[in-house]
Structure 1
Amino acid sequence: MSALEGVEGEDRQDYTREESRAIRQRSSRLLGSLLRPLRGRVVVAMVIVAVSTGLQTAGPALIAFGIDAGLPAIMQHRDAMPLALVVLAYLTAAIVGAVLMWHYTLLSARISQAFLYDLRGRIYRHAQLLSLEFHESYTSGRIIARQTNDLDSIRELLDSGIQGLIRGVLYMAFIAIALVLLDPISALVIACSLPILAVLTRWFQVTSQRAFRATRVHSARLIVKFVETMTGIRAVKAFRAEGRNEREFGVHVENYREANAKAIGVFGVFDPSLVVVGNVVVAAVLLVGGLRVADGQLAVGVLLAALMYARRFFDPMEEMAQFYNSYQSASAALEKISGVLDETPSVPDPARPVDLWHASGAIDFDGVRFAYRDDRVVLPAFELHIPAGQTVALVGSTGAGKSTLAKLVARFYDPTEGTVSLDGVDLRELHPKDLRRAIVMVTQEAYLFSGTVADNIALGKPGASLDEIRAAAHAVGADAFIEALPDGYDTDVNKRGGRVSAGQRQLLSFARAFLADPAVLILDEATASLDIPSERLVQEGLTTLLADRTAIVIAHRLSTVEIADRVLVMEHGAIVEDGTPEELIGGSGRFARLHKAWRDSLV
């Protein structure tokens, strides 16, 4: 199941057996790839914790030897040496075990951080490489949940859960060995409880898995709602949607609370049950052992050691149950993350890329058919040739296919059938660096990143000098307002360009695109945010900067179309009119009617 398929199904809590198996295999592959570079340190950590646990387990056996051998030696022979040696061995084991656990804690922390560093980087890199199709389907809130909530769950497991599991398993194994060597009958009494523990643990495993998967689902919904509300806060304010959002968010909070309560309730049944079973076993060991001591079949020290071991045998079970809590949460998180990382780009890089160092800008659509889904065909059969250096304006109603055409040229999507080529090279075979250098797209949503004005313009050409940045800003008419900012080109635009208006953000995006100096420039409703004076300034810059460059201009404002060499009118994914602005305006077709209506609106 790919991540895109999982977008709609991500909120599911129940999967088929085949789906669950596939998800587990996918998560296991990811886990193995993350642990493989760390296997040396993991082996060392395992050895350290094994030796440390073994030394700690030796305590009751040493006490039994001290009672049964050391005390009689003092009472009968006035010899304190055996008891002294036992005490010395006990203290040595405790100190060495503690030092080894300290070293293990530091080493496990380094392993944990290396693991998370690798995983966090993979998510970030892979999310950037994924196609536009993925990001249009997978909400930003879910991506944030992968990088925050889910990674925190994995961190908690690595920091404390695994340590508790390893120590618990080893502790129980060493206790079982020590009991068999000290008193096989007491070991047999404890063994009688194992079937009950197996049934109880299995119930806990199945029930908690369902409960913790539900917590991850509701946690993701909570984050998605919060991110969407904050991202669209202007619309929330404009439509007075605070009350409705608060109610919807309250439902998500309540669902999350209930899911957590159910998960904790499962643990609340499991933990007391372990305590009851443990106490019953200790009582049984005491009863059987006490009768054997009275008959002279068992030494008092051995009975005491057996009781201590019996009591300690069940202590790790509680730690392991706590581990399973963390494990279920981390396992569900790893499922989500592996789903994202398993997603392959729908616009993959070519296996054998073709270099195109200097593109002239000729664009060709040959037998192109494109559909977002099988039932949503946007371009049924499309043919188009745009000569190098020609400025083409695309006009048509909403949904006519203009933006889809632009996205195909920018290779945000690949055609379902046919080819889109640049200078005769199929875009699917063109080297990605050459493609991004040759074709630049400016959209209506001019996004500014945190940093200075100069930094945002330089995104079009990393390493550009300040003079080049100033020249690009001047070309599009942005230099006047930039110089008026508090720190000029060094002004921090803040998140989402908070210091500049929507029209100014668009001008900065133009400067960024012009600095990139592409062979093909695509403007998708790029002047929609500009007022009339700003639009005229940009058009003056466009007239100069679009010279000797292929340009595709998509606009509803027909004033922008006037700078075009050629106008294409699109309807239902097909070109219905093709000609110069003057030819189409002088005719009686759709563009002439649109132009007349636009002129009348100005009057």
Structure 2
Amino acid sequence: MTTPGNGNGNRATPGRLPAAGRRPAGGGPPWMSAGMPTEKSMTFVPSAKRLLRRLTPYRGQLFVVILLALASVALSVIGPKILGHATDVIFRGVLGRRLPAGTTLEQAAAGARAAGQNNFADLLLKTRPIPGVGIDFHRLGQILLLVLGIYVVASLLSWLQGWVLNGVVQSATRKLRADVEDKLNRLPLPYFDKQPRGELLSRVTNDIDNVSQSLSQTLSQLLTSLLTVVGVVTLMFVISPLLALVALVAVPLSVIVTQQIGKRSQKKFIAQWTHTGRLNAHIEEAFTGHELVKVFGRQREVEADFEQKNDQLFKAAFGAQFISGIIMPAMFFIGNLSYAVIAVLGGLRVASGTMTLGDVQAFIQYSRQFTQPLTQVASMANLLQSGVASAERVFDLLDADEQVPDPAPAVEVRQPHGRVEFEHVSFRYTPDTPLIDDLSLVAEPGHTVAIVGPTGAGKTTLVNLIMRFYELDGGRITLDGVDITTMKRASLRGEIGMVLQDTWLFGGTIRDNIAYGNPSATDADIRAAAEATFVDRFVRSLPDGYDTVIDEEGSNVSAGERQLITIARAFLADPSLLILDEATSSVDTRTEALLQRAMAALRSDRTSFVIAHRLSTIRDAHLILVMEKGKIVEQGTHEQLLAANGAYRRLHDAQFTKAAVDLDEAAPAGGIALAGQR
């Protein structure tokens, strides 16, 4: 089973993409392969808050992370203060050696004042060295070992914090992926009609990965940086309120710089990921239709389109990274300016004896620790903005309008017979362009209903409405007298088997692909279905038989063999209602004749809707509907329609009588435009 088309079989051709929002010929849904859907970008703060709210289920782990961060930061912050004591021990030892042994500190200070060295006297009284005694290496060793132990424990706590936080982020990312997957299953088919597949893949993969990476790298850093700033500022005020005030001048400057640059870079990051999605959509489409591009010689157009989109992505990415990258040098400049001022003032205060050298050293370290978190936050700004921009795109997908929910309680058809009735059904892809209007028909149980008509007549749309891929604009469709809108979609579709013209196989064995129609089927059931649909005939010639692995495109089997496998899949499902959308178009004439007998057996005792191009395949249909412009213009058996000498007769003569048909003569006054085509 494949994803249904747009009602007329149109596909976007690589190298010549439809314009955004343009409706394809025949009334299908609008495709937007060349552009993004119109969307209003959210602002940074609401998006960031919404992203953080997804972490609330992990409050316990986050509380542990905060405790570990507090302990790690507290130890890291206290380290320079203790290390300053080691500097004081060394400095006292150096000064003590310069003083005569046997004198008191007061005598040495008085002698310095008598010599006019008042600052040195104040320094001696503040430092309090022991005259004649050098460096106390035992005390110095104790202090250094203590500092080493503090830093080791702080590093271990920081590692443990990162380990716990990484588990939280990955769990939240896994939940986000699961939510996106569930959302995709709840979205209506028109949403996918309007989205290039590459764009959706980019949101589900690239954007979510970028969110995960951003959270992993920024949350821990931001938490540690904020706690470090608080701890450092506290100890800076303890050591010297004056120098602390000088250092704090850097804070408003840093905030202003970050805000001004951040506003400009956020728009660039959103543009970067938008162009990434567009480029992915183009690449996916171009490589999917690679053979078609080669056949029509459109390599240059595809390459030119790629170059254009790649250039747009380059400009957006360059602008985003360049603008956000300005933050780091600006923060370094502010930090170095603050460091220079503190070093000068600290030196003057040591010389005046109002501070010890160890305190100045500790304060300078704290000033570095103070600006370092601000610099780290600035360096994380571009990554954070990139992650939030990706989160906006994911949230846009999560906020998309969902399909109408299944009714509760739902009605079930307990013993389906397959009677399908259309009662004054109306449908249109876009409000201003009618496609199906006031259509009524009845398909009796066990009957085969064939649908023929020109391109855009609404044939495939008709069967898509039975599957509830689209919702009606008017009227209703009933299955055995039950309105299908009162049934669960899974229950409705479980009674329907569908074989499309465009085959869909997944990467796996032939056995797995056939069993997709009934996962509980035994090997005997699979072989019986394969024999009935003539799959067994070519599978036996393969080296691995039913265990032959086919890729997602099914390129290692022919188009006809792919079609046979999908028919075997429908055969195995044993549905009460069967839909065949030109299911034999890819097989040869002999195989088609065999398949007609197989499908005749498959259609027995069940209602079948057959969309046919070859009129020879529907001669035995109980009812043939001829559709034009969403309306049934003729209906009857093969013989009745031939005798009516109308639209069906023109189709028949075009296929079996004339070698060439003048289209204007074959379809006068808006009749059949191209014989046998959908």
TM-score normalised to structure 1 length? 0.93
Task: Give the distance between the partners of 2:316 and 2:513, measured in 1 at CA.
Answer: 44
In structure 2, the residue corresponding to 1:350 is in which secondary structure? Answer: coil
In structure 1, the residue corresponding to 2:434 is in which secondary structure? Answer: strand
**2:60 partner letter:** G
The structure where helix makes up a greater share of residues is 1
Matches within 5 A, 1:439-454: 439-454=496-511
Residue equivalent to 1:47: 67
Q: Which moved more, 1:297-306 or 1:67-76?
A: 67-76
Deviation at 1:257, TM superposition (A): 2.1
Matches within 5 A, 1:554-569: 554-569=611-626
Residues 1:474 and 1:31: Cα distance change in structure 2 (over 3 Å): farther
Residue equivalent to 2:559: 502
**1:426 partner letter:** D
Deviation at 1:230, TM superposition (A): 0.8
Aligned mate of 1:20, from 13, 38, 42: 42
Aligned mate of 1:122, from 168, 171, 179: 179
Tell me whether 1:58 sits opposite 2:78 in the alignment: yes
Deviation at 1:505, TM superposition (A): 1.0
Alpha-carbon contact 1:442-1:522 (below 8 Å) kept: yes
Superposition RMSD in Å: 2.5
User: Structure 1: any 5+ residue segments left out of the alignment?
Assistant: none
**2:272 partner letter:** T
Tell me whether 1:227 sits opposite 2:284 in the alignment: yes
Task: Give the distance between the partners of 2:637 and 2:38, measured in 1 at CA.
Answer: 57
Matches within 5 A, 1:10-159: 11=36, 15=40, 20=42, 25=46, 28-29=49-50, 31-32=52-53, 34-68=54-88, 72=92, 75-76=129-130, 83-159=140-216
Residue equivalent to 1:579: 636
**1:64 partner letter:** G
In structure 2, the residue corresponding to 1:365 is in which secondary structure? Answer: strand
Tell me whether 1:517 sits opposite 2:537 in the alignment: no
**1:346 partner letter:** Q
Task: Give the distance between the partners of 2:541 and 2:657, measured in 1 at CA.
Answer: 36
Task: Give the distance between the partners of 1:28 and 1:436, measured in 2 at CA.
Answer: 40
Task: Give the distance between the partners of 1:395 and 1:37, measured in 2 at CA.
Answer: 55
Residue equivalent to 2:672: none
In structure 2, the residue corresponding to 1:353 is in which secondary structure? Answer: coil
Deviation at 1:141, TM superposition (A): 0.3
Deviation at 1:52, TM superposition (A): 0.5
Alpha-carbon contact 2:91-2:357 (below 8 Å) kept: no
Q: Deviations over 1:447-470 (max 9, x none)?
A: 111111111111110121111112
Deviation at 1:267, TM superposition (A): 3.4
In structure 2, the residue corresponding to 1:552 is in which secondary structure? Answer: strand
Deviation at 1:210, TM superposition (A): 1.6
Task: Give the distance between the partners of 1:24 and 1:562, measured in 2 at CA.
Answer: 65
Alpha-carbon contact 1:347-1:411 (below 8 Å) kept: no
Residue equivalent to 2:376: 319
Alpha-carbon contact 2:325-2:379 (below 8 Å) kept: no
Deviation at 1:552, TM superposition (A): 0.6
In structure 2, the residue corresponding to 1:497 is in which secondary structure? Answer: coil
Task: Give the distance between the partners of 1:392 and 1:12, measured in 2 at CA.
Answer: 38
Alpha-carbon contact 1:71-1:83 (below 8 Å) kept: no
Matches within 5 A, 1:259-408: 259-408=316-465
The size of the alignment, in residue pairs, is 595
Q: Deviations over 1:239-276 (max 9, x none)?
A: 12222222221222222222222222223422222111
Task: Give the distance between the partners of 1:592 and 1:12, measured in 2 at CA.
Answer: 44
Residues 1:351 and 1:24: Cα distance change in structure 2 (over 3 Å): farther
Residue equivalent to 2:592: 535
Deviation at 1:216, TM superposition (A): 0.9
Task: Give the distance between the partners of 1:403 and 1:382, measured in 2 at CA.
Answer: 14
Residues 1:44 and 1:176: Cα distance change in structure 2 (over 3 Å): same
Residues 1:29 and 1:292: Cα distance change in structure 2 (over 3 Å): closer
Alpha-carbon contact 2:425-2:476 (below 8 Å) kept: yes
Aligned mate of 1:488, from 545, 550, 559: 545
Alpha-carbon contact 2:215-2:384 (below 8 Å) kept: no
**2:528 partner letter:** A
* Bigger radius of gyration among the two: 2
Task: Give the distance between the partners of 1:332 and 1:6, measured in 2 at CA.
Answer: 25
Task: Give the distance between the partners of 1:14 and 1:601, measured in 2 at CA.
Answer: 52
Tell me whether 1:205 sits opposite 2:259 in the alignment: no
Q: Which moved more, 1:258-267 or 1:578-587?
A: 258-267
Task: Give the distance between the partners of 1:163 and 1:587, measured in 2 at CA.
Answer: 78
Task: Give the distance between the partners of 1:489 and 1:205, measured in 2 at CA.
Answer: 58
Residues 1:20 and 1:105: Cα distance change in structure 2 (over 3 Å): closer
In structure 2, the residue corresponding to 1:368 is in which secondary structure? Answer: strand
Q: Percent identity?
A: 35
Aligned mate of 2:310, from 241, 253, 259: 253
In structure 2, the residue corresponding to 1:372 is in which secondary structure? Answer: coil
Alpha-carbon contact 2:424-2:476 (below 8 Å) kept: yes
Task: Give the distance between the partners of 2:440 and 2:349, measured in 1 at CA.
Answer: 96
Deviation at 1:187, TM superposition (A): 0.8
Task: Give the distance between the partners of 1:137 and 1:448, measured in 2 at CA.
Answer: 23
Q: Deviations over 1:426-479 (max 9, x none)?
A: 212212332122112221111111111111111110121111112112222322
Residues 1:8 and 1:198: Cα distance change in structure 2 (over 3 Å): farther
Residues 1:384 and 1:26: Cα distance change in structure 2 (over 3 Å): farther
Deviation at 1:530, TM superposition (A): 2.2
Q: Deviations over 1:38-83 (max 9, x none)?
A: 2211221121122111211112211223334686488529666754
Residue equivalent to 2:483: 426
Aligned mate of 2:241, from 178, 184, 201: 184
Alpha-carbon contact 2:324-2:381 (below 8 Å) kept: no
Q: Which moved more, 1:446-455 or 1:55-64?
A: 55-64
In structure 2, the residue corresponding to 1:364 is in which secondary structure? Answer: strand
Deviation at 1:24, TM superposition (A): 6.4
Q: Deviations over 1:282-340 (max 9, x none)?
A: 11112222222222222222222111111221112222122111111111111111122
Residues 1:509 and 1:164: Cα distance change in structure 2 (over 3 Å): same
Deviation at 1:97, TM superposition (A): 0.2
Deviation at 1:496, TM superposition (A): 1.3
User: Structure 2: any 5+ residue segments left out of the alignment?
Assistant: 1-28, 97-128, 661-678
Deviation at 1:510, TM superposition (A): 0.9
Deviation at 1:31, TM superposition (A): 4.7
Alpha-carbon contact 1:356-1:431 (below 8 Å) kept: no
Deviation at 1:135, TM superposition (A): 1.8
Task: Give the distance between the partners of 2:324 and 2:145, measured in 1 at CA.
Answer: 40
Residue equivalent to 1:165: 222
Deviation at 1:176, TM superposition (A): 0.9
Task: Give the distance between the partners of 2:577 and 2:295, measured in 1 at CA.
Answer: 38
**1:575 partner letter:** I
